[in-house]
């Protein structure tokens, strides 16, 4: 009997770096493929900041935590190697929630065929969660208008970089918030942003004010942290804030305090959080919106690929150190 590798979550993070002590690397027997089922060899798996939430014991969130002892949750892309399913054939490429494992037995639920002739890395970086999240948050909440100013935090990240490029293509002035000079250089000189501010800078309010002389109309929030108060202070009347992520707070036992609400009234701001599982039914429409920008060459990406399933166990820390350069992916 041949086996394959899977990684189970066996403990919850308690602050500090994520490491192998939270996981159990196991060998499982290859499953028998029953009627109406197929077997996928997963080739690339996405790592996402949301995994910190899925590992936590929080049962009040938008999705239940991963149970201790279960395979760690993740989405990925792979190829069907055996099939007894009428609609899925050997050789088909599929994408969806498969978990930290080499092989995935499925009846088709939650998996979608991938027909675009693009490498796995490009699919995961643009057409999977990052592009869908950017498109949903920007257009449904941000409602960008030509000539407006948009600030996006986590601007060199997989979601933020797409948000900024979509807004730029729509004729907005786009300012990115990043954590290094290299990332500032990338978003300005490669992606075409109008400016970038390093949130580690000592004179954040002055730098932001210089870059947003007409205030801020749309704030796409991916990180929280010190920049949040300063962008909030610069919001224009009727501004929109799409709250996508607060990674600066994920490792903290007590999250930072947010801005006072009075300006929400005075400036008639819209502040709305969103999570993608609410919008999975809208994926065809989101892809229809996003694809023309990609086809027109307006959306560049970079993928940061780690090698081998076990690399996921420490790779997640790259999100917190900011050492991930683009979409974090594990090649299996
Ligand atoms: N709502 C949803 O459905 C949804 C879906 C996908 C993602 N998200 C959220 O969107 C955000 C971005 O996700 P992503 O996958 O695109 O990740 P990413 O931006 O590619 O990577 C995370 C980045 O966050 C920055 N960061 C880390 N700690 C920080 C801190 N203390 N202060 C400020 N920035 C910090 C780092 O960049 P620097 O080097 O620039 O610091 C790091 O590279 C995350 O918060 C994620 O949870 C939400």
Q: What is the pLDDT of residues 297-326, one digit of tens each?
A: 999 999 999 999 999 999 999 999 999 999
Q: How far is the CA of 222 from the centre of ligand 1 (A)?
A: 5
Give the rounded percent of residues in the chain with a pLDDT score beyond 90: 93
For residue 187 and ligand 1, the question of a CB distance below 6 A is answered with: no
For residue 164 and ligand 1, the question of a CB distance below 6 A is answered with: no
Helix axes 283-295, 158-169, angle to 10 degrees: 70
Q: Identify the burial level of 331 via C-beta atoms within 10 angstroms of its C-beta, where 0-12 means exposed, 13-18 middle and 19 or more buried.
A: middle
Mean pLDDT computed over 143-152: 98
The two structure tokens encoding residue 140 = 């449904």
Instruction: Using CA atoms of 67, 274, 271, 153 in order, give the dihedral in degrees to the nearest 10.
Output: 90
Q: How far is the CA of 282 from the centre of ligand 1 (A)?
A: 23
User: What residue's CA is closest to ligand 1, atom 41?
Assistant: 179
Q: How far apart are alpha carbons 131 and 124 in whole angstroms?
A: 9
Mean pLDDT computed over 217-241: 98
Q: Taking Cα atoms as reference points, which of 127, 138, 188, 140 lies closest to residue 167? A: 138
Mean pLDDT computed over 207-227: 97
pLDDT at 59 over 90: no
pLDDT at 207 over 70: yes
The two structure tokens encoding residue 277 = 């599982």
User: What residue's CA is closest to ligand 1, atom 10?
Assistant: 245
pLDDT at 1 over 70: no
Return the pLDDT at 251. Answer: 86
Domain with CATH 3.40.50.720 in the chain: 129-278+287-292
Band of pLDDT at residue 243, cut at 50, 70 and 90: very high
For residue 158 and ligand 1, the question of a CB distance below 6 A is answered with: yes
Domain with CATH 3.90.180.10 in the chain: 3-115+303-331
- Adjacent-strand bridge partners of 113: 94
The mean of the pLDDT values for the chain is: 96
Mean pLDDT computed over 234-243: 98
Q: How far apart are alpha carbons 148 and 167 in whole angstroms?
A: 9
H or E element at residue 8 = strand 3-9
Mean pLDDT computed over 56-67: 91
Mean pLDDT computed over 254-283: 95
Mean pLDDT computed over 52-73: 93
* CB-CB neighbours of 229 under 10 Å: 16
CB-CB contact of 154 with 175 (8 Å): no
User: What residue's CA is closest to ligand 1, atom 38?
Assistant: 179
Return the pLDDT at 253. Answer: 83
Q: How far apart are alpha carbons 110 and 90 in whole angstroms?
A: 18
The ligand 1 atom nearest the CA atom of 137 = 1
Q: Taking Cα atoms as reference points, which of 271, 160, 147, 262 lies closest to residue 215? A: 147
Q: How far is the CA of 41 from the centre of ligand 1 (A)?
A: 28
CB hemisphere CA count around 206 (13 angstroms): 3
Model confidence pLDDT, tens digit, residues 45-58 = 999 999 999 999 98
Mean pLDDT computed over 149-176: 98
Band of pLDDT at residue 235, cut at 50, 70 and 90: very high
For residue 225 and ligand 1, the question of a CB distance below 6 A is answered with: yes
| CATH class, 3-115+303-331 region | alpha beta
Model confidence pLDDT, tens digit, residues 86-101 = 999 999 999 999 999 9
Question: DSSP letter at 56?
Answer: S
For residue 178 and ligand 1, the question of a CB distance below 6 A is answered with: yes
Give the rounded percent of residues in the chain with a pLDDT score beyond 70: 100
Q: How far is the CA of 242 from the centre of ligand 1 (A)?
A: 14
Q: How far apart are alpha carbons 160 and 152 in whole angstroms?
A: 6
Cα→Cα distances 26→7, 68, 70, 259, Å: 6, 14, 11, 45
For residue 218 and ligand 1, the question of a CB distance below 6 A is answered with: no
Q: How far apart are alpha carbons 137 and 327 in whole angstroms?
A: 18
Return the pLDDT at 44. Answer: 98
For residue 161 and ligand 1, the question of a CB distance below 6 A is answered with: no
- Adjacent-strand bridge partners of 82: 39
Mean pLDDT computed over 198-221: 96
The model's pTM is 0.96
CATH code of the domain occupying 129-278+287-292: 3.40.50.720
Q: How far apart are alpha carbons 17 and 24 in whole angstroms?
A: 17
User: What residue's CA is closest to ligand 1, atom 45?
Assistant: 245
């Amino acid at each position: 009997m041949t086996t394959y590798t899977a990684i189970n979550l066996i403990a919850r993070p308690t602050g500090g770096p994520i490491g192998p002590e939270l996981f159990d690397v196991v060998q499982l027997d290859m499953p028998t493929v029953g009627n109406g089922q197929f077997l996928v060899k997963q080739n690339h798996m996405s790592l996402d900041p949301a995994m910190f939430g899925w590992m936590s014991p929080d049962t009040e969130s938008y999705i239940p935590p991963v149970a201790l002892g279960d395979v760690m949750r993740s989405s990925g892309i792979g190829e069907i190697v055996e099939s007894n399913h009428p609609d899925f054939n050997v050789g088909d490429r599929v994408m969806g929630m498969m978990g930290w494992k080499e092989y995935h037995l499925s009846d088709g639920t939650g998996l979608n065929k991938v027909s675009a002739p693009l490498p796995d890395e490009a699919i995961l970086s643009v057409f999977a969660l990052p592009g869908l999240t950017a498109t949903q948050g920007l257009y449904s909440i941000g409602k960008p208008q030509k000539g407006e100013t948009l600030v996006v935090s986590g601007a060199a990240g997989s979601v933020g970089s797409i948000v900024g490029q979509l807004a730029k293509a729509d004729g907005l002035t786009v300012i990115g918030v990043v954590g290094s000079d290299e990332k500032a250089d990338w978003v300005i000189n490669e992606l075409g942003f109008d400016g970038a501010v390093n949130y580690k800078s000592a004179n954040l309010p002055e730098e932001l004010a210089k870059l947003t002389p007409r205030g801020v109309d749309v704030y796409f929030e991916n990180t929280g942290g010190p920049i949040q108060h300063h962008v909030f202070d610069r919001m224009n009347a009727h501004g929109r804030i799409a709250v996508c992520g607060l990674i600066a707070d994920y490792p903290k036992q007590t999250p930072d305090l947010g801005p006072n609400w009075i300006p929400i009234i005075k400036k008639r701001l819209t502040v709305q959080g969103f999570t993608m599982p609410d919008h999975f039914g809208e994926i065809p429409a989101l892809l229809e919106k996003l694809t023309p920008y990609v086809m027109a060459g307006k959306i560049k990406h970079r993928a940061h690929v780690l090698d081998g399933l076990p690399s996921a166990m420490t790779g997640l820390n790259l999100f917190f150190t900011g050492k991930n350069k683009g979409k974090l992916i594990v090649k299996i």
